[in-house]
Structures are given as structure tokens and as C-alpha cells.
Chain A
Amino acid sequence: MTRMTMIEAVRSAMDVSMQRDDDVVVFGEDVGYFGGVFRATQGLQAKYGRTRCFDAPISESGIVGTAIGMAAYGLKPCVEIQFADYMYPAYDQITQEAARIRYRSNGDFTCPIVLRMPTGGGIFGGQTHSQSPEALFTHVCGLKVVMPSNPYDAKGLLIASIEDPDPVIFLEPKRLYNGPFDGHHDRPVIPWSKHPLGEVPDGHYTVPIGKAEIRRSGKDVTVIAYGTMVYVAEAAAEETGIDAEIIDLRSLLPLDLDTIVQSVKKTGRCVMVHEATLTSGFGAEVVSLVQEHCFYHLEAPIARVAGWDTPYPHAQEWDYFPGPARLGQALVEVMEAR
């Protein structure tokens, strides 16, 4: 066991995977010699050579397109899109190609690729360094979509993603790279070295895709969260004194519906929270499923707390980011509903 930040855990996952499997290759913009703008690939080129870890031209469709071709050959590319906000030029390759190759060729060709994308806000990233585009992936059949919230899960999920036979969108909340963040931007950041989930095994292990984790058990209300919102939910529960059960989805597609349904049937109330914009966000899917599967157990309307339906602003960062106050208020309202 070693104390790792999420960056170090992500790097360790690639290191372990490259060590175990010669077919794993890592590339992207600034990923090679420099080790990535977030340092996630630092040292990998020196250790595995330029043909296993290398810099790519600034072309997202080129990066994903070549990765798809490599996967068709038999490699397992784990590539980086520098910010999730810049995946749009590759959207054609992701949705029409990577996601469909197994289906359209009836398994003649497959696409075992991982697309790592730093995502989310809370860092004064403005419009194109803060987006949470997960719903644009969860709507695409053939993709898997995961988002870890801590170093342990980040490493285990990334190794599982690299070993997965299908394309995985691996969203890394960059606000969590160096420590958990509950939305209290005025307080000092606690580093992962002081958090139990910063304990990461050095070797190989996996966290299964498609399995949620209950971060806090409670009986009053189920809060469904992922990424940074897991810590916002913990803060909101503590500050309101509401005994919330907090589910960290970890995997959005496939979704661990059983864990959600079991929890909501127990609590009878549900709040969905995400950073992404509200309308047609991933929360809408979860809320719809909860309504469908837990209708007779619900004691209040399901609430959603999300980013506003606007582009991510710069100066108004903390009025946009769904912090503990906003979530706390939703918890109170859901508890008071009758």
C-alpha cells in the first residue's frame, strides 16, 4: 500500500497495465516526454519507450481514430483527451465508430480502447475546462462510462477499463486530482495523503465496472452522486444533520440499478446530484429509473441538484458549482415534502 493522489493512482494503473500487457499503449497531447499537463503519464515514456507512450498531434479525432485502428489490430490503447471539453472533434469517432464496431461487424472486429478525459469544474476553468459531458456518452449504446471519486477507485477502475473488451470513457474529476473537495472553496484542501481512500495497493487489482459503492449509510434519503459530488453530498449530510445514504455510482453505463433501488426502497426519498447541466443530464435517466422501479416506495418527489442550464461561467464559479448549501437545501425540502 502506498499513499497516492488520484493522479498518482491513475499513473500507477497505466504503469501496472503496461507492465502486464505489451499491447497496452498510451498516447495523447503532451502525454509522452512531458508526462501530461496533469502529470498523469509522468515517467511512462522513460520506462516503456517512445513506441509505448508518445506525444500526439493536436487532433482529438486523430487520437481516437488511430486508437480505434490500433484496437482493431489487437492493441489496447489507453489515450488521453486533454480536457473532456475538447472531446467534441472526436465525437464522430467515439459514437459512430468505437461504440459500434463490435455490433456492426458482429464481433468480427472489436474496440478495446480507454479514453481518459479530465472532467468537471470547481477550478475556475471557465467554459472549456470545466464541462461534464457524461450524458453525451451515456446516451451512446456500446460505450461504457465510468467516473471515479478517489485514488483507490481510480486505479482499480482504470485497470478494469483497460482490460475491458469494449470502449470505456474514463472521466477523471480534475478537482479531485490532489484531494477530496466538498465544495467549500474557502477552506484549505485536504490532500489525499490524509484520506483513507488515498491508500492504494501498489500492484494489480480491479474495481468492477457497473458496481456502485455506498459511501455513507443512512435511513432518511438516498443521495445519488458521482465524482466531486460525492464529497459535496457528505458535507451536505453532515451540515443538515439529515441521515442521508450516499451512493457513489462510479459507473454510469452500465448502471448499478440494484444498489440504487435497494437504497431508495429503504429510504423512500431520493436526491440526484451532478455537476453537469440539468436538462437531459444523466440525472434525468436515474430519476426516471427510480420512479419506474421505486414508485410505491417514494414518499416525496425525486429532486435533482445540478449545474444550471448555462455554459460554465468563470467569475461566478461558486454560484454555478452545486455546492453543499444547494444540495443541503434540496435535502431539507425532500425531507419536508409530504
Chain B
Amino acid sequence: MTEPMRLSLHVPEPAVRPGDQPDFSNVTIPKAGSVPRPPVDADPETIRDLAYSIIRVLNRQGEAVGPWAGLLSDEDLLTGLRNMMRLRAFDQRMLMAQRQGKTSFYMQHLGEEAVSCAFRKALQKGDMNFPTYRQAGLLIADDYPLVTMMNQIFSNAKDPLHGRQLPVLYSSKEHGFFTISGNLATQYIQAVGWAMASAIKGDTKIAAAWIGDGSTAESDFHSALVFASTYKAPVILNIVNNQWAISTFQGIARGGSGTFAARGLGFGIPALRVDGNDYLAVHAVARWATERARRNLGPTLIEYVTYRAGAHSTSDDPSAYRPKTESEVWPLGDPILRLKNHLIQRGVWSDERHRQAEAEVLDEVIQAQKEAESNGTLHTGGKPSVRDIFEGVYAEMPPHIRRQRQKAGY
């Protein structure tokens, strides 16, 4: 009898930690334009490679190349650039507002602006997003008023959610933006249900589900893929892989799977992997997936490869778990700079106009902030009513809540 081998537990660990030299040499970045663009009705079995590569349009020279290029006009691109800049400026001001005590909490999008801003432009009015807390670009790119977003963040007298919800957990049916929940992944399966409903009613609207790399480990991610696959729901299943789930590197959620996109393959769902910092690529892939959904060809899974350049939230300090300069060496660069360079390369933009646009955008955000602050901030000025605690639990207030409201003095 030989001694049985003693087993050991494998716990994945990022390549580097604070104090180490950041290193992304393990991230394979295909050349821009090198990934083919299959027809939208391609058999999922024939496009499995797309789950392991990265669809990219913008090359190092800022040129748009390959089969995924050419969908957007200069005007579209300039709008896209401005929306990303608005989101970044919004983030900066709100981070500062949190530090000043005007709100309790904020979460920024730094480095991920292209994903939500470009995706929104592939949708139509009436489509519904089921976002996480890091897709405010969906609202901004749909021209949702910045003041209203800030009113929500400040929980003030004009907060559309009447002070009930943590900052950044927006809701806007009108803008196709489902109410955000603090519970991760729950919305992923709800998006599939919404899409099934649209199909049940013979409608033409589609849904988009959103999730981060870390939350793909939640069970609702798996149920969403099962239901989307079973019922061929007109839904786009988006995974934003920003490499980090608070302090946990993406390898903990991904495990032995080659990529997050590859998770879709086992469910028979076509899966694409895209450069999340390439506005043109994000938009092109989103268009491919939305067309598939609209033609009743079923769901598509998209992994956006990007990097969470900022802290997880205002309650987080990334220097405790990753090198401080890691975002600087991220090989896919910065989405705003890359689109800016492309537009300069096309001759429709310049450094000077960019600086000017930065000033304009900052001014727009500051004006909005002034207006929002005039409605109050978390601890000063106008507030939602105490009465609002009790309203809206049910369509009609039941007697026990009425008694409690009276006890509270309202």
C-alpha cells in the first residue's frame, strides 16, 4: 500500500501586490482589426473563438481598422467623447462632494466610461437596461438630467427616490434604466424576464443585463444564462470585467474558465469579448448583439475587458491590495484619450478643442451641482419628508403602516 497523496487547496492570487511592479504581460491583446465580424445569425458553435479573443477597432495610431469599424459618424463620435467626458467630470465633482460631506457615498467609473456610454447608443427608446451601480453612462448618454442624478446623490428635497435609496442607485423607467439594487446580480435574471415578456407580447423591445466580473460568481448569473438560453430571450448579457471586485482580483471569480465570455459557450449563447476602452469596438459589438436580439435570434453574452482605474467606492482604498500605478500600465489605455486621439487623427478634433470641451463640460457639471445643492445636500438644506419613509411600501398604505406613520408624528 502506498501512502495516499496529501491534497492541497488552490487559491488563485494576482500576479502582483502593493509594492510590486505592475505587470500585465499575461494579458494577451490581439491587434486592432484582427478579429472577424461574423453575421449576426451565425451558429454560436462556429464563433466560439470570439469568446477568447478581444474585438478591437482603434489601433495604437488612433486609426479605426478592421471589420468592426465604420459604424459611427464623426458627429456620433464627438457626442460619445463628450458623454464620456461628462461622466468623468461628474465623477470627479461627486467624489469631491462626498469628501465634503455633501453625500455619504459615491462610486466612480474612472476608466470604464466607454462601456456604458457607447452601449447606450446601440439601444432604442423603449429598450430596458438592468444596470449595476457602475453604468451611469447609460443615463448620461441618454441625456438624463445631471441635476436629477445629483439630487439623488444628495438625497435632497428633489431626490426622485425621496431619500430612500443609497446614492448612485438611480432609477428611470423613462430612460430605460431599471431601479438599481444593492444586491449583486439580482438584476441579471430580471433582465432576462423582461426580455421574455417582450417576446411573450410580440413586442420589438429588447433588454440589456449588466454585471461585473466579481458578481458572475453569484447564482443569479447562472440562472440568467440558463433562462436566456432556454427561452432564446432577446437580451444582451453584459459582463464588465474591470479586473477587480473590491479587493478581489478577477481570477477568484473566473477560476479555471479561460475568460468570462467563455461562460456563455456552455449555455449555447454566442459570446464576444471586446476591448472595453475602445468606444468604437464597444458600440460595434453592442450593435451586433442588439441586432441579433431584435431579429429574434436570441441572447448574446459580451465581456468588456477594461480596468477599474479608481477605488471601488468612496469607502475603499485600493493601495491596500494592488500596486498604486497599476492603472497606468493597463495595456488598453484610457477610453477618453483613445477616442480623442482617433478624432484628432480623423482631423475633426484637436488638443485645443479638447481642452475647451473639458472646460465646457466642467462648467455644465458645476452649474448642475449648484442647482442640485440649492435643493439641499445630505445634512443641510431641503430634505425628503419623514412621511416619505412610509409611502410606497405598497400601492395602498395598509393600516399597520398608517399607525406607525402616525406614531412617527406624520
Report if A68-B393 is in contact (Cβ < 8 Å); known contacts: A105-B161, A108-B172, A109-B179.
Answer: no
The reply to whether A69 and B394 form a contact with Cβ atoms under 8 Å apart is: no
**Least CB distance, B174 to chain A, in whole angstroms:** 8
Could you say which of B171, B178, B186, B197 contacts A93, with CB atoms under 8 Å apart? Answer: B186
Q: How far is the CA of A57 from the CA of B230 in the complex (A)?
A: 8
Contact with A along B371-410 (1 / 0, CB 8 A): 0000000000000000000001111001111000000000
Comparing A70-78, A238-246, A266-274, A316-324, the segment that makes contact with chain B is A70-78
Given the complex, which residues of A lie within 8 Å of B190, measured CB to CB? Answer: 65-66, 68-69, 72, 97
* Shortest beta-carbon distance from A245 to chain B in Å: 21
19 further interface pairs, Cβ-Cβ under 8 Å (given A61-B189, A105-B173): A57-B227, A61-B219, A61-B220, A65-B186, A65-B224, A66-B189, A67-B193, A69-B192, A72-B194, A74-B197, A92-B183, A100-B181, A101-B179, A102-B395, A104-B165, A104-B169, A104-B179, A166-B394, A257-B400
Contact of A210 among B128, B194, B398 (CB under 8 A): B398
The 5 closest A-B pairs by CB, nearest first: A69-B193, A66-B193, A65-B189, A62-B223, A73-B197
Q: Interface size of A by Cβ–Cβ distance < 8 Å?
A: 44
**B393 A69 Cβ-Cβ under 8 A:** no
Q: How large is the interface on B (under 10, 10 to 19, 20 to 34, 35 or more residues)?
A: 35 or more
In the assembled complex, which residues on chain A have CB atoms less than 8 Å from the CB atom of B173?
105, 108-109
B160 interfacial by beta-carbon distance below 8 Å: yes
Once bound together, how far apart are the Cα atoms of A42 and B368, in whole Å?
57
Within 8 A of B (CB), among A43-76: 51-52, 56-57, 59, 61-62, 65-70, 72-75
Is B353 at the interface (CB under 8 A from chain A)? no
Residues of A within 8 A of B200 (CB): 25, 51-52, 70, 75
CB neighbors of A among B213-254 (8 A): 219-220, 223-224, 226-227, 230
B226 touches A106 (CB 8 A): no
Contact A73 B393 (CB under 8 A): no
Q: Which of A65, A108, A109, A141 has the most CB of B within 10 A?
A: A65
- Residue of A whose beta carbon sits closest to that of B207: A69
* Residues of chain B contacted by A51 (CB below 8 angstroms): 199-200
Most A CB within 10 A of own CB, among B164, B191, B200: B200
Report yes or no: B189 in contact with A257, Cβ–Cβ below 8 A: no
Interface assignment of B332: CB less than 8 Å from any CB of chain A: no
Residues of A within 8 A of B169 (CB): 104
